[in-house]
Structure 1
Amino acid sequence: MVVGDVTTGTDVLIVGAGPAGYVAAIRAGQLDLDVTLVEKDAYGGTCLNHGCIPSKALITATDVAHEAANAEEMGIHADPAIDLSGMVAWKDDVVDQLTSGVEKLCKANQVNLLEGTATFADENTVRVSHDGEGQGSETIEFEHAIVSTGSRPVEIPNFDFDDDPVLDSRQALSLTSVPDSLVVVGAGYIGMELASVFAKVDTDVTVIEMLESILPGYDDDLKRPVKQRATELGIEFEFGYTAAEWREADDGVRVVAEPADRTAGDDEEPDPLELEAEAVLVAVGREPVSDTLDLEAAGVETNDRGFIETDSRARTNVDHIFAAGDVAGEPMLAHKGSMEGQVATEVIAGEPAAIDYQAMPAVVFTDPEIATVGLTETEAKEAGFDPVVGQFPFRASGRALTTGDAEGFVSVVATESKGYLLGASIVGPEASELVAELGLAIELGATLEDVASTVHAHPTLSESVMEAAENALGRAIHTLNR
């Protein structure tokens, strides 16, 4: 029996329950709006279920194993046994705890939760199809809508994620046995994070990258410690190649890679590579999920890459339809999506909210971590500033030395005249945590003097932030001043 079609109405319809969607929904409930949140997969979206949280769980678990096995200098001698299925089960428990928490928070804030796939019928109506035989569909009329459908891994020609030896990041995070060998296509943040995860459980990892270095978009001085650590882990790199095809091999897969800059008739071009491994992980980026919504029916426009373009208040070209998160464009960061979702809801509620990316942090959870916020020195110069830069190396930090991890530095960029913080870059231990202080400083319009004169507890890694500010002022104590 098919459930009959029904029509309901709501103040705010939100499509997609990832970090942008569920935050928008909870905020809408707090503002006493009638809100309906439609999700076709799992609450929390890719981030909580298949991306940010599970990857960081496995990064932490493999770090523990690797550190225990390599702590002889500290007088610790161990040979940990790796149970990847046990790691994955623990990771899944963490994910379940968080996703169930999201669902409970939504219900506690009077959010109407609806499972199904939404497509626009017109600019004020969506149809929601429910999975399962006989489940039918329903119509929802809305006054405002927020599209927060996120992103998905990019597939490349000849590498279909439905093929057993070809993995996307979601599948790689669910493996229950350690592969003996792995080819990773792409040296961006996802590829580098997962390459390190598997290298630390003794997988032979080779990374193919079409460019000439890892982590495109990051300065060389930030990437250098990460590349060095990866090499120490045994990760091999093949730069200047693109993965062309794969073939079955005796022990898994043979990946054929062609030179990225092939020129017809070039007698000196490199030969193609053939790399054998148990599996191949394709991590060349992510693309917006905007093609499943029938946006044209609502009049919502996308750019040539499929992203929904928005203004500073998260509005699309249709005034009452908003977009937030990965589907709204770069940077594709969960916390950026949450901010956009919250702003969209507050604008709908008549609040004076707007999006400000000035102090938006970005983090790469490689080994060591990289974190940035605000402008780099180059960007500051391009923006017309004559910046002053201060830097403090972790090798001069007592706390870093006591952790056994003293690679990297904290760098700050400020205006020369008043010393206002413009940006910061960190590579090293706990960079993802340290960047928050500098983001707050930029948000509040703090100066180098403000940061330098704030007493930081000793011994802590955060003292490195203070010392970097002091270095920019020419009065650092524990490193030579510039």
Structure 2
Amino acid sequence: MSREVDLLIIGGGPGGYVAAAHAADLGIKTTLVESAEICGGVCLREGCIPSKALLHVAKIIDDAVDAESFGVSFGRPKVDAEKLRSWKNGVIRRLGTGVGTLLKGRKVEVITGRGTFEDSRTARVEGAEVVRIRFKHAIVATGSVAKMLPPSVIDPALVWDAAAALALTDLPGRLLVVGGGYIGLELGQVYAALGSKVTVIEALESLAPGADPELIKPLAARLKKQCEAIHVKCALKSGRKKGDGVEVQFEVDGKVRSEVFDRVLLSIGRRPNTDKLGLENTRVKVDERGFIVVNEQRRSTDPRIYAIGDAAGEPMLAHKASAEGRVAVEAIAGRPAAFEPSAIPAVIYTDPEVAWCGVTEKEAAERGMKVKVTRFPWAASGRAVAMGRTDGLTKMIFDAESQRLLGVGIVGAHAGDLIAEAVLGIEMAAVAEEIGASIHPHPSTSETIMEAAEAMLGHSVHAPGLK
């Protein structure tokens, strides 16, 4: 069977399905190829959404324990793993059905199968039947896959990846999390709340490498209370099956230790899912890491083929993929479009949450930028004190001369929601006076942004002397 379409999109994640919907809105005949039964990608099925559902449950459990300090005692919550798993899967089904409805309503053709390129104008889709599709343009939105250690270090059959951990098939007594990045920390906190004794090991010098250490400090302090152990500058040496568990050797402070865990969760990053697409049959260039090389319109070196999301470079974030999808479609439609964001928010959805966007203090120093950094501690926030969560911090980076906002970092409750104001401020080239003069609701943690901006002007009301 064969057919012709204006636009072929391979991959139905947050980049692919958003691109498909936008293309349909612009009158472009679109076919979307997705290997899974429902669209939404890793984000929906085994990433962003299920992890946030379980993190919500973990926070309820931890809040119940913390409430004792307020004079409210619930006792330790009991976890019904089967019911929890069913609820989490229901969240996925509901949102997946919603995505399908959005595409169906726009008359986007969705084919379940695996797509590969035969040449720069033709793709082959293998599903219930083989379909050959001729396209005017194509968008690669195939996302990424988890990195694994070589079998010489540990047998892949002995480890969980994030998808397996989110399946919630069992609650291990002892869980080793290899990798202290955002995925490892989020899942480690989930399982700690559900009752597992969690150990986290990270090869680099700090948790969440790449994030501002000042923002990670409050999170690390809370994790140390929740986890059995946390080790940084710690290298995994080997792992082998022992009884019903896994005996793992890792090096800490120059000494090799051996411990047995019920489960090992491997969270050492992700790589672009581009190696089995038949790109060698096209003029698409792929770099040494597997990312498709694209320009500001997300067009590859093959003028008919675009790439977005994890397949097109870092940061590997769902919202970045969606934004790129819109840009690629606009370019295909002949409209002026370029992916040139000043700020892409990054969020670690732990408790406390950590979020940042724009230029960091370290990046500013490396670039030789003249900046001024202000901080507002949440211990001076009425809302934070009322919630019993004064471990937060709002940090802002301004141009020293123009006072233009360049970057923001926040650690604290709902930091992932608060960071949106910072993104808008950076994109709109807001200056400290404009942010400080904007009336924020009281009491709210959003006031910490206003007060940090006021600190740039030398008069933060609730933190006198803070500059």
TM-score > 0.5 by shorter chain = yes
How far did 1:87 drift? 1.7
Q: Is 1:27–2:19 an aligned residue pair?
A: no
- Residue matched to 1:36: 31
- Residue matched to 2:395: 411
For 1:154, which of 147, 151, 169 is the aligned residue? 147
For 1:422, which of 390, 406, 409 is the aligned residue? 406
CA contact (8 A) 1:183 1:275 kept: no
Which letter does structure 1 place at the counterpart of 2:190? V
**Which residues in structure 2 correspond to 1:308-319 (within 5 Å)?**
308-319=292-303
Q: Is 1:178–2:171 an aligned residue pair?
A: yes
Q: 1:160 to 1:249 in 2, by over 3 A?
A: closer
- Residue matched to 2:65: 69
Which letter does structure 2 place at the counterpart of 1:386? K
* CA distance in structure 1 between the partners assigned to 2:456 and 2:93 by the alignment: 45
Look up the SS of the partner of 2:31 in the other structure: strand
Look up the SS of the partner of 1:441 in the other structure: helix
* CA distance in structure 2 between the partners assigned to 1:59 and 1:117 by the alignment: 32
**Deviation digits for residues 314-343 of structure 1 (CA, Å, limit 9, x no counterpart):** 011111110000011100000000000110
Which letter does structure 2 place at the counterpart of 1:8? R
Q: Is 1:120–2:86 an aligned residue pair?
A: no
Look up the SS of the partner of 2:118 in the other structure: strand
* CA distance in structure 2 between the partners assigned to 1:160 and 1:206 by the alignment: 17
**Deviation digits for residues 431-466 of structure 1 (CA, Å, limit 9, x no counterpart):** 101100011011111111111000111111101110
**Deviation digits for residues 250-283 of structure 1 (CA, Å, limit 9, x no counterpart):** 3411112246xxxxxxxxx823221211110000
- Residue matched to 2:211: 218
How far did 1:301 drift? 1.2
Which letter does structure 2 place at the counterpart of 1:74? F
Look up the SS of the partner of 2:93 in the other structure: helix
CA contact (8 A) 1:65 1:82 kept: no
Q: Is 1:247–2:240 an aligned residue pair?
A: yes
Q: 1:300 to 1:160 in 2, by over 3 A?
A: farther
* CA distance in structure 2 between the partners assigned to 1:235 and 1:469 by the alignment: 39
Q: 1:356 to 1:235 in 2, by over 3 A?
A: farther
* CA distance in structure 2 between the partners assigned to 1:84 and 1:64 by the alignment: 15
- Residue matched to 1:432: 416
Does 19-28 or 241-250 show the bigger shift? 241-250
For 1:340, which of 324, 327, 330 is the aligned residue? 324
- Residue matched to 1:373: 357
Which letter does structure 2 place at the counterpart of 1:188? G
CA contact (8 A) 2:154 2:238 kept: no
* CA distance in structure 2 between the partners assigned to 1:251 and 1:111 by the alignment: 48
**Deviation digits for residues 159-179 of structure 1 (CA, Å, limit 9, x no counterpart):** 77862x410000101124321
Q: Is 1:280–2:264 an aligned residue pair?
A: yes
Q: Is 1:144–2:140 an aligned residue pair?
A: no
How far did 1:351 drift? 1.2
* CA distance in structure 1 between the partners assigned to 2:129 and 2:107 by the alignment: 25
Which letter does structure 1 place at the counterpart of 2:230? F
For 2:188, which of 187, 195, 215 is the aligned residue? 195
**Which residues in structure 2 correspond to 1:436-451 (within 5 Å)?**
436-451=420-435
Q: Is 1:99–2:92 an aligned residue pair?
A: no
Q: Is 1:296–2:316 an aligned residue pair?
A: no
* CA distance in structure 2 between the partners assigned to 1:49 and 1:160 by the alignment: 26
Runs of 4+ off more than 6 Å: none
* CA distance in structure 1 between the partners assigned to 2:321 and 2:374 by the alignment: 31
Q: 1:136 to 1:161 in 2, by over 3 A?
A: farther
**Deviation digits for residues 135-168 of structure 1 (CA, Å, limit 9, x no counterpart):** 43110000000000000110101277862x4100
How far did 1:473 drift? 1.1
- Residue matched to 1:460: 444
Which letter does structure 2 place at the counterpart of 1:73? S
User: How many pairs align?
Assistant: 463
How far did 1:358 drift? 1.1
